[in-house]
Structure 1
């Protein structure tokens, strides 16, 4: 068994012990800053530091693996060279600076949120410009960085003798090197299996004790895989019975029967009046199509002639809003009809993204062929796992022959190509006498804004305007071809955006920047008109099923907004941290650290004021997000086909 008197192991031990010292001091400082809140006994203190050491070592096993691999295969002739040793000394200094910088970042994060790194820290990378500017304005960051550099350099100098001793120690033999490497890989694997984001951190005790026992860098990287924020921990809550009552008032429809034993379970049987209509459905989710780009919404550049013409023949929703700022949020809302719970969308919560009562499952239960058709490769944003696990079969770029794609870029095949694949699937299902539900996700209206040449009068790659105009062109071509098909008159076409082209603004949730178009087009079936009340992406699924007069078992947080006996309109909007409810005039916002505020006249002057749980708009806001987070955690939105009604709820 190799001993630490070998050169490579001594060098690694210096780095590991230095990092452990930084972790220990960080934990001490964080504990001292909230000693009263942590309320630790001596036994609990031992648990905090003991479990904390496990987390620290768990992170370090991953962190040192690349370096260890290099050191163990480094030839002796290179190891003994002076320039190489100086390089390794410099690496110690850089690693110390990195860990000190992380410790300071942890302190700042802890000071603001009272927790170690989590998805909020990951989110800071998404909004890096705003975060960096905020840090520069809030802290003397440059002098602080200089101080950390001095400390790291001074510590490296202080370790000089230990490092020289390591360089002069005997080297591992090849057998010992491979043995050490095998042991390190084994320990790393065992660490990955036994140490998670939540365990063994589950000490019991209070939140501060659990957070102190974790490791900040470990939590940061774990947040990439499990990007969630615990609603109960970070946001304002109401009593469960109050949430249950408010939420059921929000989602209830006439003759609906709630089924769950959990007070917050909104699973219910929906009775849509009229004879069921087994119509085909083609639901097109368009990349980044803000309502403001359409001429029918006021744009004067003539970018969307086909969509502007389509609006005249469609059921148009002129006050419709996306739930979030990313494609995965739009797909989540449209497919599952759930508000944007804090953290990462359900689509991207790997390992927890399947088995839900999706729109695809609803159509499957009616005998449809439910297909998700994506212009790119569905591993992006975890789409294949999400749709494949929630009732859809998948057609994406990887399943399309190269000869069937006229154009592609980094994001995938052009919109023309995805529509050609859609027509192929529809033709095949129609030939078999099977109704189809085809849910598309386009890619062309996205940087680098490239598309086939010669289609429009704006050169490919010239910017967003060209991409919007090409998107519109492809829709026009698709509908022109579809009108020649025998299945056209029995098909409902839905055109909606996943999100807008840009949601940033001076406010956390600028409502106007969530405004998207929604057109429902079936000229032989649905009378053209304009629906002007506020509605949300989560309302699309129940509204669509309502148009088909389908009775079903629903876990949807949205509602059929076309019913005459509907509740007042509202839109749910969010951006990972901030969770909003817009009622058409005012906006209530929930934020981490139990923040509550509202923007009166949100589309106008947008006057911000603090508020409380006595505010009825804030109560509705809390009910939606607390209820949705609870439903996700308890799997109250799971798909249970046996809960579907055995017969029509009302006699026809």
Structure 2
């Protein structure tokens, strides 16, 4: 590579080097994803072409400030020690950031099969958990050393090619420097105003979408678009019509609306005597249905849960609403459809919402959120603490909110046998919940507990000697330990005086991955849910398609409760129930009914698909106006209620 013979030799050399490295990274990811991606030759060429445009944009962003510096730098200082030191240092640091980001892209792709997104933004914010996770998952000294070595070698190679010499010894006229700067600035402005990350998402194949993107570009895009306004970016219909539609969808023989036409607040009435057991919801981190033998897994890594499923009430066709823990928490506490952008758990003004804790506390229950890590992460403590839950977690951050501090209990060091970046192992969080249950029972208080596990999360580490798969080696090991810990939990509580009067719910927050060849890979939202120890209920399987948001309406009907509700969920055993589910990414909102699906996306777009779950096939189909109306009504009204405080108690 012969360097440009002017002051901009380093700038153009860096841009060229970046484009070459980006091309190699994209090629490696295409090869990695190819067996699962279903890419055509046209799709691969499109990924390269769009990817090149995004890569050029990143190169312009990286170099525009240096271009301005070169424009203003006096000629007499061009070959000075000051400029040499500044240029070498700046080149080295910029290249180090680029190489580190490429390393990170491979690890991120391995976990999420995608380019950087909101998850990566979260990782930048929550540095303790992320740095600890990286340190425990990868050989950090080798990783950092490799980045520094690669940066040093490439900087040396560029220097040997004369790139720096040609820049320092050039005499580029000011008029030419102005022309080059205007050209670069013009290209940057074109990118800012005409190119968007959504351009990569035109394809129906999600792998192709992700391969078309550039990691750094996607990261910045995710940072700038943390929350999407539904009424600005998505298909709308008249508000009155939307609420009328959703109220019709939520109507049931035992329901009576209490609010005005722009409300879903209603009373549920049961004529039989209510049963009021304790409730423990175990929310299992990243637990796909296909981990279980019942759903086809051949590894026998969930013997406990498979046994529980046979002896409890198993929902065989339930879907998570999203791909993050906070999205699962939103669905499992508020029973609302996912709205675009971040989960409500992460948003401002999310206090005093109508939640599961609202119903249980009104019936005299103590409600507690148990988390093995620091609940500061992902805003969990603030959300749960301000929506009816007490908190038990691992304290790492000093509290600012005194009211929240009064609700919070720390898991002490003496109660911890094992801990990694994300918190204590599942056995330890169960022990904390059991201790709390003992205390509440002794005080004569019924309890409702929300337990969030962490062991089924990278770095997949857990106490040694518990299972036959070494700690930290695989997802399968983490799943098997997660299952083992559930077995120990049940074994311990079976001797407790409160056990016979306690319902235990086992449900996943989301699946282990969400990527696939389809725009939204519905199969990657399929999760298990089991009601265990329900009074008077026989073991059964419930095959109807449903959502996480339907769990409490269904359970409370089994227990014959009468209550007021603001939930979008329904009792799936009711004769009026129409099978449906809602799944989402940060931007895509899908609404499923039997055999068909509508996907809503920004720029007021809507697409209809036929859907065959048995074959995991999604095919474009003519728009179904009724399905579209149901979809828009649910998502539009959910956004409207949250925005206008209609979800508050």
Q: Is the TM value for this pair above 0.5?
A: yes
The question of whether the paired residues in 2 share the 8 Å contact of 1:500 and 1:516 is answered with yes
Give 2:182's aligned residue.
Answer: none
2:451 to 421, 440, 443: 440
What residue ranges of structure 2 are gaps of 5+ in the alignment? 1-9, 15-42, 81-215, 396-409
Q: Computing the radius of gyration over CA atoms, which structure comes out larger, 1 or 2?
A: 1
Q: Does 1:333 align with 2:343?
A: no
* Match in the other structure for 2:423: 412
Q: What are the Cα deviations for residues 215-245 of structure 1, in whole angstroms up to 9, with x where unaligned?
A: xx9xx98985983211111111122222122
Once residues 335 and 63 of structure 2 are traced to their aligned partners in structure 1, the CA distance between those partners, rounded to angstroms, is 53
Shift in Å, 1:424: 0.5
Aligned positions of 1:220-259 closer than 5 A: 227-259=226-258
Report the alpha carbon displacement of residue 149 of structure 1 after superposing the two structures with TM: 7.5
- TM-superposed CA distance for 1:601, in Å, is 2.3
Deviation track 1:104-147 (CA, whole Å, cap 9, x = no partner) reads xxxxxxxxxxxxxxxxxxxxxxxxxx999957535445566667
The equivalent residue for 1:281 is 279
The match for 2:352 among 344, 350, 355 is: 355
What residue number does 1:300 align with? 298
d(CA) in 2 for partners of 1:437 and 1:277?
14
CA contact (8 A) 1:267 1:637 kept: no
The DSSP-based 3-state class of the residue aligned with 1:601 is: strand
Equivalent position of 1:507 in the other structure: 518
- Counterparts of 1:158-237 in structure 2, within 5 Å, are 158-161=71-74, 227-237=226-236
Q: CA deviation at 1:273?
A: 3.6
TM-score between the two structures when normalised by the length of structure 1: 0.66
CA contact (8 A) 1:335 1:360 kept: yes
Q: Which moved more, 1:478-487 or 1:246-255?
A: 246-255
**Which residue of 537, 541, 559 corresponds with 2:548?**
537
1:365 aligns with 2:359: no
Contact 2:571 2:577 in 1 (8 A): no
Q: CA deviation at 1:549?
A: 1.7
Task: Tell me how far apart the structure 2 counterparts of residues 243 and 597 of structure 1 sit (CA, whole Å).
Answer: 19
**Corresponding residue for 1:603?**
613
Are 1:285 and 1:495, in contact at CA under 8 Å, matched by a contact in 2?
yes
Give the Å deviation of 1:163. Answer: 11
Q: Does 1:387 align with 2:356?
A: no
**Matches of 2:472 and 2:622 in 1, distance apart?**
49
Counterparts in 2 of 1:480 and 1:230: CA distance versus 1, 3 Å: same
Q: Equivalent residue of 1:272, what SS?
A: coil
Separation of aligned partners in 1, 2:262 and 2:516: 34
The equivalent position to 1:137 in structure 2, one of 39, 45, 50, is 50
Corresponding residue SS for 2:358: helix
Q: Does 1:312 align with 2:225?
A: no
| Residues 353 and 387 in structure 2, CA contact (< 8 A), matched pair in contact too | yes
**Contact residue 235 and residue 592 of structure 1 kept, 8 A:** yes
Deviation at 1:545, TM superposition (A): 2.0
**1:355/1:224 CA distance change after superposition, 3 Å:** farther
Say if 1:370 and 1:140 are closer, same or farther in 2 by CA, change over 3 A: closer
Distance (Å, rounded) in 2 between the aligned partners of 1:148 and 1:495 = 47
Q: CA deviation at 1:323?
A: 0.3
Q: Secondary structure, in 3 states, of the residue corresponding to 1:288?
A: coil
- What per-residue deviation string (whole Å, max 9, x for no partner) do you get for residues 572-612 of structure 1? 10011010111132111101111111220242566766678
C-alpha displacement of 1:547: 2.2
Question: Which residue pairs with 1:204 in the alignment?
Answer: none
CA contact (8 A) 2:276 2:559 kept: yes
- Give the 3 Å change call, closer, same or farther, for CA 146–561 of structure 1 in structure 2: closer
Is 1:452 the counterpart of 2:463 in the alignment? yes
Q: Indicate if the aligned counterparts of 2:463 and 2:471 stay in contact, CA closer than 8 A.
A: yes
Which SS does the other structure have where 2:577 is aligned?
A: coil
Displacement of 1:566 in angstroms is: 2.8
* Equivalent position SS for 1:618: helix
Instruction: List gaps (5 residues or longer) in structure 1.
Output: 1-96, 102-129, 168-216, 640-652
Q: Which residues of 2 match residues 606-625 of structure 1 at below 5 A?
A: 615-625=625-635
TM-score by length of 2: 0.67
Q: Superposition pairs for residues 56-75 of structure 1, below 5 Å? A: none
Query: Alpha carbons of 1:155 and 1:394: their partners in 2 closer, same or farther (altered >3 Å)?
Result: closer
> Residue 478 of structure 2 aligns to a residue in which SS?
helix
Root-mean-square deviation (CA), in Å?
3.3
Counterparts of 1:561 and 1:258 in 2: how far apart (Å)? 19
- Counterpart for residue 321 of structure 1: 319
SS, match of residue 277 in structure 1: coil
Alignment match, 1:521: 532
